[in-house]
C-alpha cells in the first residue's frame, strides 16, 4: 500500500508539472521574454493612463458640482454670457472638444463676477472652488497650445485670449490676500513656465500664427499684478540662460569644438523680448535688480557674434533700470 501511495503521489506530481509546463507554453509570447515584457509594460501604461483620465474626469465633475452649488447658494440670477463669436465653434466639433471644459470654467467665473459682490466674497469663503476653476481654465488654454506645438491647427484664437483675460482678472481680484493658496499659485506659475517654453520651442509650420496668439495670451496674464513680478523674472531668466548658451557656443567655436546651437529658441526669443518690452512700461511692481544687471553684463560679450540679440538684451535691461530705479 505504501508503494502504491508513493507511486500515486509521484504520478500526480509528474502530471501537475506537465500541466504547468503546458500552461506556461500556451501563455508565453511568441516573441520571447523581451517582447512579453514590452507588451506587459504597454498594457500597464495604457491602464495607468486610463485611470488617470478617469480621475481627471471625476475631478472635473466634482468641480462642476461645486461651482453649481456655489452659484445656487449665492442666489444670483446670472445667465452665462456667450463668449465672442461662439456660434462659429459648436461644442460638438471634434477639433474643439476641450471647448466644453474651457467654456464651462469661463462661464462660471463670468457668472461669479456678474453677481454683486459675489466674486469678492467667494474668494474669501469658497476660494478652493474659484481657484480650482482658474487653474483648470488656464490648463485648458495650455492644452490647446500643447496640441498646436505638435502641428494641430489653432482654431478660435479669440476664445483663448478671452479665457486668459478672465484668468488675469480673477487673479487681479484675488491673489494671496483673497485666499489663493500657495498650491494654486504654484500651479499657475508652472503653467506660465510651460506656456513660455511652448513659445520658445515651437518649430511647426504654424509657428507664426501660434506665436502671435500665445504672446497675446501671455501678455494678458502678465498684466495681472498677482503674477507680473514672477512672470517678468521668468522671462528674464530664459533670456539670460539663452545668452549663456550663445556665449558657450562662441567659446567652443574659437576652440574649434563642434557645438550645436538651438536656433529655434534663439529665433523665438525675440517674442520674449517683445513681452518684456511691453511689461517694462508698467512700473507698479518690483523687479529683481540682479537679473537686470545680468541682462546688461551678458549683452556686451555677445555684441560681435550676435549683435541683434545683444542689442535687445541691453535695451531691455535699460528699460527696466530706468523704470524701476
Query: How large is the average pLDDT for residues 230-247?
Result: 93
What whole-number percentage of the chain has pLDDT above 90?
24
Which among 2-11, 28-37, 138-147, 255-264 has the top mean pLDDT? 138-147
Query: How large is the average pLDDT for residues 243-252?
Result: 86
For 63-107, the pLDDT digits (tens) are 777 777 777 766 554 444 444 444 444 444 444 455 667 777 777
Q: pLDDT-based confidence at 19, cuts 50/70/90?
A: confident
Of 143, 129, 65, the residue nearest 98 (C-alpha): 143
Q: Per-residue b/e over 277-298, b at no fewer than 16 CB within 10 Å?
A: eebbeeeeeebeeebbebbbeb
Helical axes 307-323 vs 228-254, angle rounded to 10°: 150
Please tell me which residue, 67 or 157, carries the higher pLDDT value. 157
Distance CA 119, CA 111 (A): 9
- 318: pLDDT strictly greater than 80: yes
- 238: pLDDT strictly greater than 90: yes
- 155: pLDDT strictly greater than 70: yes
Q: Residue 278: its pLDDT value, please?
A: 92
pTM to 2 decimals? 0.71
Of 202, 59, 181, the residue nearest 128 (C-alpha): 181
Q: Do residues 259 and 252 touch, judged by C-beta distance below 8 A? A: yes
Query: How large is the average pLDDT for residues 23-43?
Result: 72
Residues near 76 by beta carbon (within 8 Å), at least 6 away in sequence: 111, 114, 115, 116, 118
Query: How large is the average pLDDT for residues 148-161?
Result: 86
The whole-chain average pLDDT of the chain stands at: 78
Q: Residue 46: its pLDDT value, please?
A: 84
Q: Do residues 285 and 262 touch, judged by C-beta distance below 8 A? A: no
C-alpha distance from residue 51 to each of 30, 60, 121, 211 (Å):
29, 14, 36, 34
C-alpha distance from residue 100 to each of 30, 53, 57, 95, 137 (Å):
45, 16, 13, 12, 11
Please tell me whether residue 84 adopts helix, strand or coil conformation. coil
Distance CA 75, CA 31 (A): 64
Amino acid at each position: 500500500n505504501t508503494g502504491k501511495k508513493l507511486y500515486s503521489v509521484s504520478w500526480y506530481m509528474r502530471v501537475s508539472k506537465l500541466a504547468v509546463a503546458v500552461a506556461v507554453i500556451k501563455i508565453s509570447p511568441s516573441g520571447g521574454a523581451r517582447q512579453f515584457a514590452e507588451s506587459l509594460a504597454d498594457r500597464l501604461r495604457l491602464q495607468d493612463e486610463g485611470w488617470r483620465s478617469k480621475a481627471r474626469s471625476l475631478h472635473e465633475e466634482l468641480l462642476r458640482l461645486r461651482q453649481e452649488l456655489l452659484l445656487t447658494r449665492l442666489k444670483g440670477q446670472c445667465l452665462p454670457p456667450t463668449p465672442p463669436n461662439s456660434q462659429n465653434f459648436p461644442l460638438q466639433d471634434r477639433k474643439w472638444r476641450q471647448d466644453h471644459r474651457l467654456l464651462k470654467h469661463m462661464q462660471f467665473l463670468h457668472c461669479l463676477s456678474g453677481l454683486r459682490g459675489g466674486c469678492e466674497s467667494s474668494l474669501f469663503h469658497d476660494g478652493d472652488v474659484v481657484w480650482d476653476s482658474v487653474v483648470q481654465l488656464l490648463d485648458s488654454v495650455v492644452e490647446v497650445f500643447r496640441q498646436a506645438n505638435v502641428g494641430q491647427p489653432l482654431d478660435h484664437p479669440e476664445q483663448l485670449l478671452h479665457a486668459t483675460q478672465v484668468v488675469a482678472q480673477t487673479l487681479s481680484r484675488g491673489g494671496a490676500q483673497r485666499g489663493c493658496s500657495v498650491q494654486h499659485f504654484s500651479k499657475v506659475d508652472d503653467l506660465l513656465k510651460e506656456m513660455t517654453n511652448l513659445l520658445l520651442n515651437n518649430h511647426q509650420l504654424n509657428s507664426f500664427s501660434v506665436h502671435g496668439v500665445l504672446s497675446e495670451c501671455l501678455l494678458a496674464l502678465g498684466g495681472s499684478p498677482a503674477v507680473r513680478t514672477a512672470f517678468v523674472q521668468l522671462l528674464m531668466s530664459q533670456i539670460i540662460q539663452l545668452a549663456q548658451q550663445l556665449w558657450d557656443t562662441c567659446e567652443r567655436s574659437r576652440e574649434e569644438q563642434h557645438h550645436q546651437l538651438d536656433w529655434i529658441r534663439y529665433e523665438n526669443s525675440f517674442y520674449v523680448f517683445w513681452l518684456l518690452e511691453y511689461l517694462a512700461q508698467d512700473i507698479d511692481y518690483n523687479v529683481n535688480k540682479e537679473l537686470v544687471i545680468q541682462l546688461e553684463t551678458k549683452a556686451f560679450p555677445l555684441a560681435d557674434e550676435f549683435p541683434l540679440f545683444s542689442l535687445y538684451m541691453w535695451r531691455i535691461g535699460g528699460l527696466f533700470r530706468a523704470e524701476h530705479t
